Amino acid sequence: MNIATEAVQIGLEWDTRTGAVTVPIYQTATFRHPGLGQSTGYDYSRSGNPTRQALESGIARLDGAARGFAYSSGMAAIANLLLLFKSGDHLIVTEDLYGGTCRLFDKVFGQFGLSFSYVDTSDTIAVAAAIQPSTKAVFVETLTNPLLKFADLPAIAALCKSNNLLLIADNTFLTPYLLRPLDLGADIAVYSATKYLAGHNDTVAGVVTVKDPQLAETVYFHQNSVGAVLGPQDAWLTTRGIKTLGIRMDRQQENAVRIARWLAAHPRITRVYYPGLANHPDHALMKRDSRGFGAMIAFEVDKHELVEQILLKTKLISFAESLGGVESLITFPEVQTHADIPPDLRARLGINDVLLRLSVGIEDCDDLIEDLRQAIEP
Ligand SMILES: Cc1ncc(COP(=O)(O)O)c(C=O)c1O
């Protein structure tokens, strides 16, 4: 079945008693036991809640996983995955990484004896060179935030397999609709479901999918032990959002391609990062492995003063953090989303004072282009 169809089906058959076509919101903390030593299958909502489970089993199906898990945010999901490691373990991580993930790794889990090497994971040779005797995993963003580099997952997966490393893929920017990391050899996929999965800038959520049932059991043990689970209302919103994933992604990508071309031709835009453009270094690789290029664009303007002008003058496109929703958003990574990346690394990567990141929404594309035009050429 096509993923777009599979996505619409999520939660559809959950309520066999009434036949409700959407999963009910089970707003309950606990469940009555039918008798001593008996359970309905649900005991307490941290351990399992039917609304959350509809989302968890749905996302597992979309990703071809053994099981899925839903958390209170993308960061909570990533933090739970780090519980698979112990003091002294080392992880290789995408250097062009979401700033919050970098902060969690270095400033939180660094305190507990985990160490991290940041490498360009679009360069598999660099990943291989970073392997140490204590390395236990490679953590990649499939399409990186904010510079949109694409990792060769099958090659990294082969490397991980031969070195007995777990491969964890943050697939937030692509979603299962465009790329299924587990099909390409990853062991675990993780998503900020706040973004394209929920898709409406109205909820904060995280999900994880796991290929191996035994590993999934350990992930479940950690989910239940830590308790950073997604509440039923937010699980319902995320499920509702996923139903339109295919149609939203199609429209957002269509808009992104046109906007990236328009930006590339504009005299005040000096550089455009969008993997759908044929001159992007990972364009061909992405064409091989992904059903699309996503709807995130980063671009550089010719002068820093233009950054503030664009952020203040766009009317349809909101100056706000986050991405992936139906509304277009623009942000300034150096100050907003990537402030926690060490300044020297930021400078080396190209996250500088003329770089903007645009999350393209589902609005009419001509309106979006006109909004950018009047902000750039007032
Ligand atoms: C690629 C990526 N991963 C993880 C996160 C964290 O997700 P959340 O904000 O839902 O905690 C983000 C947030 O922007 C992100 O862009």
What are 53-75's pLDDT values in tens digits? 999 999 999 999 999 999 999 99
Region of residue 39 (left: phi > 0; alpha: psi -120 to 50; beta: else)? beta
Mutation test of ligand 1: which of 195, 336, 358 has the most ligand atoms closer than 8 Å to its C-beta? 195
- Cα 65 to middle of ligand 1, angstroms: 21
Counting from 1 in the atom list of ligand 1, the atom nearest the Cα of 78 is 4
- Is 73 touching ligand 1 by the criterion CB < 6 Å? yes
Q: For atom 9 of ligand 1, which residue has the closest CA?
A: 74
Q: Do domains 3-243 and 245-376 have the same CATH topology?
A: no
Tell the burial category of 330 from Cβ atoms under 10 Å away from its Cβ (0-12, 13-18, 19+).
Answer: buried
Cα–Cα distance measured from residue 119 to residue 142, given in angstroms and rounded to the nearest whole number: 13
Task: Return the pLDDT at 237.
Answer: 98
Q: For atom 14 of ligand 1, which residue has the closest CA?
A: 322
Q: Are 211 and 184 in contact (CB under 8 A)?
A: no
- pTM for this entry: 0.97
CA dihedral sign, ordered 163, 166, 170, 175:
positive
Pick the CATH number of 245-376 from 3.40.50.300, 3.30.565.10, 3.90.550.10, 3.90.1150.10: 3.90.1150.10
- Cα 360 to middle of ligand 1, angstroms: 17
Task: Return the pLDDT at 267.
Answer: 97
Residue appearing with tokens 């199609």: 250
- Cα 311 to middle of ligand 1, angstroms: 21
Q: What positions carry a catalytic annotation? A: 46, 98, 170, 195
Task: Return the pLDDT at 177.
Answer: 98
- Cα 266 to middle of ligand 1, angstroms: 30
All residues at 6 or more sequence positions from 36 whose CB lies less than 8 Å from its CB, including other chains: none
- Is 328 touching ligand 1 by the criterion CB < 6 Å? no
Q: Which residues pair with 188 in a beta bridge?
A: 168, 210
Task: Return the pLDDT at 85.
Answer: 98
Cα–Cα distance measured from residue 117 to residue 94, given in angstroms and rounded to the nearest whole number: 8
Q: Are 357 and 143 in contact (CB under 8 A)?
A: no
Task: Return the pLDDT at 339.
Answer: 84
Pick the CATH number of 3-243 from 3.90.1150.10, 2.40.50.100, 3.40.640.10, 3.60.10.10: 3.40.640.10
Which runs of consecutive H residues, i.e. helices, occur in the chain?
Answer: 3-9, 50-63, 74-82, 99-103, 124-129, 153-162, 175-178, 213-226, 232-243, 245-265, 283-289, 304-313, 343-349, 365-376
Cα–Cα distance measured from residue 323 to residue 201, given in angstroms and rounded to the nearest whole number: 8
- Is 145 touching ligand 1 by the criterion CB < 6 Å? yes
- Is 170 touching ligand 1 by the criterion CB < 6 Å? yes
- Is 99 touching ligand 1 by the criterion CB < 6 Å? no
Counting from 1 in the atom list of ligand 1, the atom nearest the Cα of 337 is 14
pLDDT, averaged in runs of 10, over the chain (378 residues) = 94 91 97 96 97 98 98 98 98 93 96 97 95 98 94 97 98 98 98 98 98 98 98 98 98 98 98 97 97 98 96 97 97 88 87 96 98 95
Domains of the chain, residue spans: 3-243, 245-376
Task: Return the pLDDT at 341.
Answer: 82
Counting from 1 in the atom list of ligand 1, the atom nearest the Cα of 195 is 10
Q: Are 175 and 196 in contact (CB under 8 A)?
A: yes
Q: Is the peptide bond before 146 cis (omega within 30 degrees of 0)?
A: yes
Cα–Cα distance measured from residue 33 to residue 24, given in angstroms and rounded to the nearest whole number: 20
- Cα 42 to middle of ligand 1, angstroms: 30
Q: Is the peptide bond before 181 cis (omega within 30 degrees of 0)?
A: no
Task: Return the pLDDT at 221.
Answer: 98
- Is 75 touching ligand 1 by the criterion CB < 6 Å? yes
* Alpha-carbon 132 to chain mean position: 27
Identify the CA nearest to 160 among candidates 124, 190, 194, 193. 124
- Is 194 touching ligand 1 by the criterion CB < 6 Å? yes
- Cα 45 to middle of ligand 1, angstroms: 24
Counting from 1 in the atom list of ligand 1, the atom nearest the Cα of 141 is 1
Q: For atom 16 of ligand 1, which residue has the closest CA?
A: 98
* Amino acid at site 265: A
